[in-house]
Structure 1
Amino acid sequence: AASAPDRAGVANWLWFVAALVFAMVVVGGATRLTESGLSITEWKPVTGVIPPLSHADWVAAFEKYKQIPQYKELFPDMDLARFQTIFLWEWSHRLLGRLIGFVFALGLAWFWLRGALTSRLKWQLSGVLALGALQGAVGWWMVASGLVNRVEVAQERLAIHLLLASLTFAALVWIAGGLRAPRRLEEASTTARVFAVLLALATLKQIFLGALVAGLRAGLTYNTWPLMDGRFMPPVEQLFKNDPWWMNFFDNITTVQFDHRMAAYAVLALALLNAIFARQTGVARRGWAIVALVLCQVGLGIATLLYSVPLPLALAHQALAMVVLGMVTANLRAAFPAHAE
């Protein structure tokens, strides 16, 4: 078993990596909202770390961007200065990804060679490393969808990309949370555990739906609350106007926004139930803190919708989603204290 100093060191490293992932999600949101994601049309994991350094380099990069449909159809009047701005958003996002990979791999090697990791931790952290590698590949798979025949990336690939980032963040919080000195808490009831699990799953699903809303720009329509075009629920024929019917959940703006609204109410209800049933487990305060965070997140979401997705509100909404996920994951960890590392 790892010693207490080793456990603290590993936990601090994992919290730092989780903070980097949080930052990357926020920068990724800004990249999407500023239409910057397709500005780099190549995937160069090593040499891509260096941005264009000369005027000639910038012109060459801009010429590559001019070849894709997004430039031709949406931004034919873009100048080099504007291109440099969107390029630097995407470059920063990719640079953060490389930094996360470097910090995680270096820390993993350091603690592994020092014998600071239990066999269970080795398996868990190797899984996180694999998840990070998969995330990089999925990021390029997402970008590639917008380089030919489309003017932006496929929204379902964007949602998978954000979901994987969220799972990585949650995994880091889960593992780091298990490395703290165990506190004497009354064992959570089966009901409390069920609601802790359901709340975590509902939060992840809501983040996935939020990415679909962003990918489809669904927040630019139905800018009223709580009704959509004067109705709480749009007509069924509008919700399922596309064939096959199940594709409406991914590419019908009306359906996707309605789902995101309903899922928000579901997350709030589950947060309340989680807080009620966790009141005797010693983590009641966290349960009610989650309720407060979810209420703030719902309020931010409504404001983002009513004001037609201004960048600061939209970014705050995405950032707070990750804070909620972190708290929900910590809540889930506390419901299963017997499984601490």
Structure 2
Amino acid sequence: MASSASVSNLFAPWARGSARPLALARWLEAVAVLVVTIVVVGGITRLTESGLSITEWNVVSGILPPLGEAAWQAEFAKYQATAEFRYESGPAGMDLAAFKFIFFWEWFHRILGRVIGLAFLLPLAVFAWRRAIPAGYGWRLGAMFALICGQGALGWYMVSSGVGDTDLTDVSHFRLSAHLLTALFLLGGLVWTARDLRRLARNTDSAPAPLTGAAALAGGVLFIQLLLGAWVAGLNAGHAAYDWPLMNGQFLPEADWSKGMLWAATHDPFLLQFLHRWWAWVAAAALVWLARAVRPSDRFASVALNAAIGTMVLLGIATVMSEVSLWVAAAHQLVGALTVAATAWAMHSNGTARREYGAAA
């Protein structure tokens, strides 16, 4: 009898008005996995130069790919009007089969964006209707959904820089960095909020973890490295040099300083690869320090962060030396996203430890 009661309680419907922090945490972690996936697919989309293959943003009708030969020819004709095709893809001899390949990655990237939106919105509506969201978390979940919607708008804003009446053969690297960094900020928010909710599930009196100054500094150092990486990707600066630790046989690259230092630091591919290479060691030092700081209170977060940053550095070197091999570079972006998740976890643990230490004192 007792066993039957336990099973029936396990599958019993939620009581309206009862908070479900553990269920919310698991949901956010699942969405975080989807965000990591779309970051990787976005990286492949950029590496294969697929981003401009779909020249329109149709939220509903864009769900289906072209059906039939005539529809494919119509989409190919739209792409042939872009500067990328006129100056790069066309002269390289792109045919319809090659167009279908790049179209797939951009289409898949956009489909994943829609999946993430629904995977967030539908459970959020259910949790809200069941009044299962703990007090103080509703605004945070709403902000994350706004970020997801904003990501879609930023994605089209990025693509629009390379289509229409323009001579740009790629999307704006500034818009690309905004698109990528917003996704990574969302990933960090999902991980952080899930950790808060798991603590709340264990102890109903626990408060959200504070952001410490030390953790914010480490996060800021990582942000600069991610920004530089986004600019390197947007400007194809990974192809500026294929040797390491030197660049084309010398330590300092031959950057174009004719338009000033600020322009060179934001546009010159040689200088940007150089900065991305060497700021990586600053980021690694900051994150290793953060990992050591949280080791006594959260060994898992410490080990995960150390492993992520070490792997990311090694894959960065391998990306250069492989002449930006597609799958090596995609793995580099994957581990970059995992580094963001591990950093958010460690920053959260640092704040939790600081709060508990202060309470104990």
TM-score (norm 1): 0.90
When residues 269 and 193 of structure 1 are mapped into structure 2, their CA distance, relative to the original with a 3 A threshold, is same
- Residue in 2 that maps onto 1:87: 103
Within 1, Cα distance between the matches of 2:94 and 2:295? 56
Within 1, Cα distance between the matches of 2:295 and 2:38? 34
Within 2, Cα distance between the matches of 1:242 and 1:317? 32
Q: What is the identity, as a one-letter code, of the residue corresponding to 1:303?
A: A
When residues 284 and 239 of structure 1 are mapped into structure 2, their CA distance, relative to the original with a 3 A threshold, is farther
When residues 284 and 15 of structure 1 are mapped into structure 2, their CA distance, relative to the original with a 3 A threshold, is closer
Among residues 47, 66, 70, which one is paired with 2:80 in the alignment?
66
Within 1, Cα distance between the matches of 2:258 and 2:225? 22
Report which stretch shifted further, 85-94 or 195-204: 195-204
Q: How many residues align?
A: 328
How does 1:1-20 map onto structure 2 within 5 Å?
6-20=20-34
Within 2, Cα distance between the matches of 1:180 and 1:311? 37
Among residues 235, 242, 251, which one is paired with 1:223 in the alignment?
242
SS at structure 2 position matched to 1:74: helix
Q: What is the identity, as a one-letter code, of the residue corresponding to 2:316?
A: G
Greater radius of gyration (CA): 2
Within 2, Cα distance between the matches of 1:100 and 1:126? 14
Among residues 295, 303, 324, which one is paired with 1:309 in the alignment?
324
How does 1:156-305 map onto structure 2 within 5 Å?
156-181=174-199, 193-234=212-253, 238-239=254-255, 241-280=257-296, 282-305=297-320
Quote how far apart the aligned CAs of 1:335 are. 1.6
Among residues 52, 57, 61, which one is paired with 1:38 in the alignment?
52
Q: What is the identity, as a one-letter code, of the residue corresponding to 1:308?
A: E
SS at structure 1 position matched to 2:241: coil
Quote how far apart the aligned CAs of 1:240 are. 6.0
- Residue in 1 that maps onto 2:10: none
SS at structure 1 position matched to 2:290: helix
SS at structure 2 position matched to 1:179: helix
Within 1, Cα distance between the matches of 2:52 and 2:250? 37
SS at structure 2 position matched to 1:227: coil
Q: Deviations over 1:201-222 (max 9, x none)?
A: 2222212211111111111122
Q: What residue ranges of structure 2 are gaps of 5+ in the alignment?
A: 1-16, 204-209, 357-361
Superposition RMSD in Å: 2.2
Within 1, Cα distance between the matches of 2:140 and 2:116? 17
Among residues 3, 10, 21, which one is paired with 2:35 in the alignment?
21
SS at structure 2 position matched to 1:181: helix
- Residue in 2 that maps onto 1:153: 171
Q: What is the identity, as a one-letter code, of the residue corresponding to 2:177?
A: A
Within 2, Cα distance between the matches of 1:304 and 1:74? 23
Quote how far apart the aligned CAs of 1:65 are. 0.8
Quote how far apart the aligned CAs of 1:132 are. 1.2
Within 1, Cα distance between the matches of 2:29 and 2:294? 25
* Maintained 8 Å contact 1:271/1:287: no
* Maintained 8 Å contact 2:45/2:105: yes
- Residue in 2 that maps onto 1:133: 149
When residues 78 and 269 of structure 1 are mapped into structure 2, their CA distance, relative to the original with a 3 A threshold, is same
Within 1, Cα distance between the matches of 2:76 and 2:248? 42
* Maintained 8 Å contact 1:223/1:306: yes
Report which stretch shifted further, 238-247 or 323-332: 238-247
What percent identity do the matched residue pairs reach?
40
Q: What residue ranges of structure 1 are gaps of 5+ in the alignment?
A: 185-189
